[in-house]
């Protein structure tokens, strides 16, 4: 390794790296900087307005009830799905990993929903959630109440309905990640614990869960970043309605920026989302790290 | 033996596993049966008592709803992007794994940083950028931004780092160019990583919605997921047709999944362990 001296640079290195360097500059750095600059302007594609207005967009956003609702809904969506997805994923991972017969088959089946197009999944669920559809039939069979207009058309149930679908869809993916973490735990640890007479519950608490911690952090951050960007489900199933009850931040950004073409205003909302994601991911990392003894 | 005494008996665990499997598969069984159904209740439930099969929902899609073009678009975009990623990510991964020069760590850092950027945050500048570049609403807009992905570069770099370098060294001593080394020596050794990368990139692009949606405007440039999402509001389309269209989108995914199930899951598991 030491034989190759540092600094002996070949033109082929630069050429080989250039696809990434061009992509990085053009399609990653430029949009981020452009987004930042745009958010301080009143750029509108249709009216042609384009002047620097300082932080006016940000001030306007926080008094825009639709945006506030979008932030709240996005938070509710993330906080309301994350624990379920993670707990189901861990339970399934432990279940699958304990020499279950046909383990690979079941693992694949549980994982399957997360590789099908989100548009397809959202379309299926739109029909399942419809008035008189299967989910209503199921609920009335066990005597539970349901909104007569259908889940996606009621202000109270539209967001929870999308959240439930999301948990169903992503559990298998995170299960797979936890299975990976479980497989990296040395079997000797369990054997030693068993010899010392530790019960199943104790082994879970003392060995399995602590070893899952790094993966838990990874999944937490990954899932937060993903959840905060929810868009497709909303676009296909509700278009942000009814009465903004499923309006999310990315949907707001799309609607303001690319539908009404209020570029500056939409970009400002996107930047707030960026900050929010960075902040929450950072807090999650701190939280999990501090609890590590 | 003591290890399993506390867990539920084998048959019981199989029943649980199968019930959970049913929860995950039921919506897709519904999709499949619905797409092949001659008659469908208005509420969206299947009339199982008088269920009869038909392919009419599929054939009418291509004749009436014009799904032919979106299918072709999706195939072109997903294939070109996949091939691009295989070539470019291997090249970049090779340089980052093997070569040494000033600024390399900075490039590596850029890959890792970009991996964490939430992509939906830049939809507005991406829309403007494709307009300024004059590629809005064209194949170039659907392909160029995605030809090299940070995840791909990262994956290939990690994999190439684990390979022994002596074959490359001896080829270099014999006067082989860096390009020959990558093409003749590194690429063939990278087959497992390339397989994982290809399946992953193909699936992501085949399913991709938001960027194809915002970077195109004409009907002829729509990819399949975009066409599907927009078909839904269409008056003349009915549920069985919508289901048939969804099946066409889900079928390649399913086939890839059945064939490469191990590759996909192993790719995710090994990627996760390194991450």
* pLDDT tens per residue, range B18-40: 999 999 999 999 999 988 888 77
Phi-psi region of B134 (alpha: psi -120 to 50; beta: other; left: phi over 0): left
* pLDDT tens per residue, range B180-237: 999 999 999 999 899 889 988 999 999 999 999 999 999 899 999 999 998 876 656 6
Is residue A225 scored above 80 in pLDDT?
yes
Do the domain assignments include residue A50? no
Do the domain assignments include residue A251? yes
> What's the pLDDT score for residue A59?
95
Do the domain assignments include residue A169? yes
The answer to whether the CB atoms of A218 and B41 lie below 8 A apart is: no
> What's the pLDDT score for residue B101?
83
Do the domain assignments include residue A19? no
Is residue A6 scored above 50 in pLDDT?
no
The interface predicted TM-score (ipTM) is: 0.89
The answer to whether the CB atoms of A277 and B118 lie below 8 A apart is: yes
* pLDDT tens per residue, range A56-87: 999 999 999 999 999 999 999 999 999 999 99
Min Cα separation A121/chain B (Å): 8
The answer to whether the CB atoms of A257 and B127 lie below 8 A apart is: yes
**Rounded mean pLDDT of A154-176?**
95
Q: In terms of Cα–Cα distance, which of A67, A35, A33, A39 is closest to A52? A: A39
**Rounded mean pLDDT of A79-99?**
93
The answer to whether the CB atoms of A112 and B43 lie below 8 A apart is: no
* pLDDT tens per residue, range B91-145: 999 999 998 888 889 999 999 889 888 999 999 999 999 999 999 999 999 999 9
The answer to whether the CB atoms of B229 and A101 lie below 8 A apart is: no
**What is residue B40's DSSP assignment?**
B
> What's the pLDDT score for residue A149?
85
Which residues in B lie closer than 8 A to residue A11 (C-beta atoms)?
none
Lowest mean pLDDT across A74-83, A206-215, A238-247:
A206-215
Question: Distances from the Cα of A177 to the Cαs of A141, A185, A283, B19, in angstroms?
Answer: 35, 13, 22, 22
Which residues in B lie closer than 8 A to residue A31 (C-beta atoms)?
122, 125-126, 129
Interface test with B, best of A4, A6, A8, A31 (most B CBs within 10 A): A31
Which of A13, A177, A235 faces B95 most closely, judged by CB atoms?
Answer: A13
Which residues in A lie closer than 8 A to residue B110 (C-beta atoms)?
20, 24
Q: In terms of Cα–Cα distance, which of A215, A118, A112 is closest to B210? A: A118
Do the domain assignments include residue A238? yes
Residues spanned by the domain of A133: 58-288
How deeply is B262 buried, as exposed, middle or buried, from its count of CB atoms within 10 A (0-12, 13-18, 19+)? exposed
Domain B67-274 CATH superfamily: MetI-like (1.10.3720.10)
Mean pLDDT taken over chain B: 87
Lowest mean pLDDT across A48-57, A263-272, B27-36, B69-78:
A48-57
Do the domain assignments include residue A41? no
Which residues in B lie closer than 8 A to residue A225 (C-beta atoms)?
116, 118
Q: Is residue B70 a contact partner of residue B223, using CB atoms and an 8 Å limit?
A: yes
Min Cα separation A134/chain B (Å): 6
**Rounded mean pLDDT of A211-231?**
90
Q: How many helices (H) and strands (E) does chain B have?
A: 15, 0
The answer to whether the CB atoms of A168 and B273 lie below 8 A apart is: no
**A 137-166 residues inside an 8 A Cβ radius of B:** 137
Domain count, chain A: 1
Other CB atoms closer than 10 Å to residue B258's CB: what's the count? Answer: 10
Is residue A293 scored above 60 in pLDDT?
no
Sequence ranges of the domains in chain B: 2-54, 67-274
pTM for the model stands at 0.90
Binned at pLDDT 50, 70 and 90, residue B7 comes out as low
> What's the pLDDT score for residue B67?
85
Min Cα separation A136/chain B (Å): 10
Do the domain assignments include residue A223? yes
Interface test with A, best of B118, B203, B234 (most A CBs within 10 A): B118
CATH assignment of the domain containing A88: 1.10.3720.10
């Amino acid at each position: 390794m030491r034989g190759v001296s540092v600094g002996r640079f070949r033109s082929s290195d630069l050429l080989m790296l250039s696809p990434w360097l061009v992509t990085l500059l053009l399609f990653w750095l430029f949009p981020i900087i452009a987004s930042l600059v745009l958010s301080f302007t009143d750029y509108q594609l249709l009216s042609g307005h384009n002047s620097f207005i300082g932080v006016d967009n940000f001030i306007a956003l926080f008094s825009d009830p639709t945006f506030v609702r979008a932030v709240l809904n996005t938070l509710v969506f993330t906080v309301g799905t994350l624990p379920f997805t993670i707990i189901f994923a861990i339970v399934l991972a432990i279940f699958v990993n304990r020499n279950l017969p046909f383990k690979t088959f079941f693992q694949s089946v549980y994982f399957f929903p997360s590789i099908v197009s989100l548009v397809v999944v959202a379309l299926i669920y739109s029909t399942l959630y419809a008035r008189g559809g299967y989910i209503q039939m199921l609920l009335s069979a066990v005597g539970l109440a349901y909104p007569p207009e259908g889940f996606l058309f009621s202000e109270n149930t539209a967001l929870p309905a999308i959240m439930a679908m999301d948990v169903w869809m992503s559990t298998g993916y995170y299960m797979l990640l936890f299975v990976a973490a479980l497989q990296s735990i040395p079997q000797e640890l369990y054997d030693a614990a068993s010899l010392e007479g530790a019960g199943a519950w104790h082994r879970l608490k003392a060995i399995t869960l602590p070893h899952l911690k790094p993966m838990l952090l990874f999944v937490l951050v990954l899932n937060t970043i993903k959840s905060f960007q929810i868009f497709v489900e909303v676009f296909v199933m509700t278009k942000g309605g009814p009465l903004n009850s499923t309006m999310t931040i990315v949907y707001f950004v799309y609607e303001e920026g690319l539908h009404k073409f209020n570029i500056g205003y939409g970009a400002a909302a996107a930047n707030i989302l960026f900050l929010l994601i960075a902040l929450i991911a950072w807090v999650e990392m701190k939280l999990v790290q501090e609890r590590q003894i | 033996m003591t290890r399993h005494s506390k867990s539920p008996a084998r048959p019981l665990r199989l029943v649980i596993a199968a019930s959970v499997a049913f929860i995950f598969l039921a919506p897709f069984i519904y999709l499949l049966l619905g797409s092949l159904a001659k008659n469908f209740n208005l509420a969206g439930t299947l009339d199982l008592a008088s269920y009869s099969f038909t392919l009419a929902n599929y054939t009418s899609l291509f004749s009436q709803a014009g799904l032919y073009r979106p299918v072709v678009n999706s195939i072109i975009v997903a294939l070109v992007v996949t091939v691009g990623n295989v070539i470019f990510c291997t090249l970049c991964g090779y340089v980052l794994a093997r070569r040494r020069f000033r600024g390399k760590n900075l490039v590596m850092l850029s890959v890792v940083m970009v991996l964490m950027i939430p992509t939906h945050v830049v939809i507005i500048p991406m829309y403007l950028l494709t307009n300024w570049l004059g590629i809005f609403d064209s194949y170039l807009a659907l392909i160029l931004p995605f030809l090299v992905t940070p995840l791909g570069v990262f994956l290939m770099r990690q994999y190439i780092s684990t390979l022994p370098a002596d074959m490359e060294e001896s080829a270099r001593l014999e006067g082989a160019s860096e390009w020959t080394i990558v093409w003749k020596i590194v690429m063939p050794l990278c087959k497992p990583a390339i397989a994982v990368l290809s399946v992953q990139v193909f699936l992501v692009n085949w399913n991709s919605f938001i960027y194809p949606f915002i970077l195109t405007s004409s009907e002829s440039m729509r990819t399949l997921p975009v066409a599907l999402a927009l078909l839904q509001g269409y008056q003349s389309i009915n549920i069985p047709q919508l289901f048939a269209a969804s099946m066409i989108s889900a079928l390649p995914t399913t086939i890839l999944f059945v064939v490469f199930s191990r590759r996909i899951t192993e790719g995710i598991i090994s990627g996760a362990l390194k991450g």
